[in-house]
A = this chain, B = another copy of it.
Amino acid sequence: MKTTILIHCPDQAGIINAVTYFIHSKNGNIIYLDQHVDKEAGVFFMRLESDFDNPDFSIDDFKNKFGKSLAEKYQMKWSVYSSGVKPKMALFVSKYNHCLYDLLSRFNSGELDVEIPFIISNHKDLQYIAEQFNIPFHYIPVTKETKTDAENQQLHLLKKYSIDCIVLARYMQIVTSKIIDSYPNKIINIHHSFLPAFAGAKPYHAAFQRGVKIIGATCHYVTEELDAGPIIEQDVTTVSHSHSIKDFIAKGRDLEKIVLSRGVKLHLQRKTMVYNNKTVIFS
């Protein structure tokens, strides 16, 4: 059985040795180890993939012993994932289809190791894509007055299907703390600018107005403050005076879908850790 362990704890000497010794003593073979120390914050981060071949290996027993013999001693925040358990991911969309198409075509090709129990949208425009890909589509309109009701409906679905993480694939609504608090560092958004430049609405218009020579897209975890959560992935493309706002938007679509998909993959592969509103991304 393959397991992935993510750890962070106050930095001190001997942690790597202690963890690798523990894995070794349980007859595990470390097939990947990466580590990082945030020297300013004094925090140690680690990601390990290990193989446990012996037939009587028990993940619960392993967790139990890891917790007692290591995690307490080093004050670790940690999590262990065993291969074979697929996370459940919900998609939130509005009217733009490029990110949805990109995620679903990857999903259909087996590129994303995940279950997608449903798609939620505040508009019916993309229902046809959900049908193309045979994924349940829930139309939950949102107005100022119905916002609370809508979020309750969303939460109900999220709980009902035991959703692990949410992807806002150009969902044009602000998600409130009601949902964020239940999914800390588990809601992934794509913002159509090179954050922190041009946070908020209409970033391509603002970029055009400023006369920048490069535009970007940013995939980040959603926090209460708009467009200010931990950044997972960014990419950019060049523009010139000859490009109109419409051209910015067209070039941006390609960036958005690729950057969002990269961010989603990193999250699903347990390669992201969050600390101090920043991410550690293991490659």
User: A residues bordering B, Cβ < 8 Å?
Assistant: 13-14, 16-17, 20-21, 23-24, 29-39, 97-98, 101-102, 105, 108-109, 111, 132-133, 194-198, 210-214, 216, 230-236, 240-242, 244, 250, 253-254, 258, 261, 277-281, 283
CB distance from A45 to the nearest CB of B (A): 8
Asked if B241 and A279 sit within 8 Å, CB to CB, the answer is yes
- Tell me the number of copies of this protein: 4
| A242 and B271 alpha carbons, distance in the complex (Å) | 14
Asked if A17 and B35 sit within 8 Å, CB to CB, the answer is no
Asked if A279 and B35 sit within 8 Å, CB to CB, the answer is no
Asked if B23 and A17 sit within 8 Å, CB to CB, the answer is yes
A278 contacts which chain B residues (CB < 8 A)?
A: 210-211, 241
Tell me which of B14, B108, B230, B281 contacts A97 (CB under 8 A). Answer: B108
Asked if A212 and B231 sit within 8 Å, CB to CB, the answer is yes
| A197 and B17 alpha carbons, distance in the complex (Å) | 41
Tell me which of B13, B105, B236, B281 contacts A236 (CB under 8 A). Answer: B236
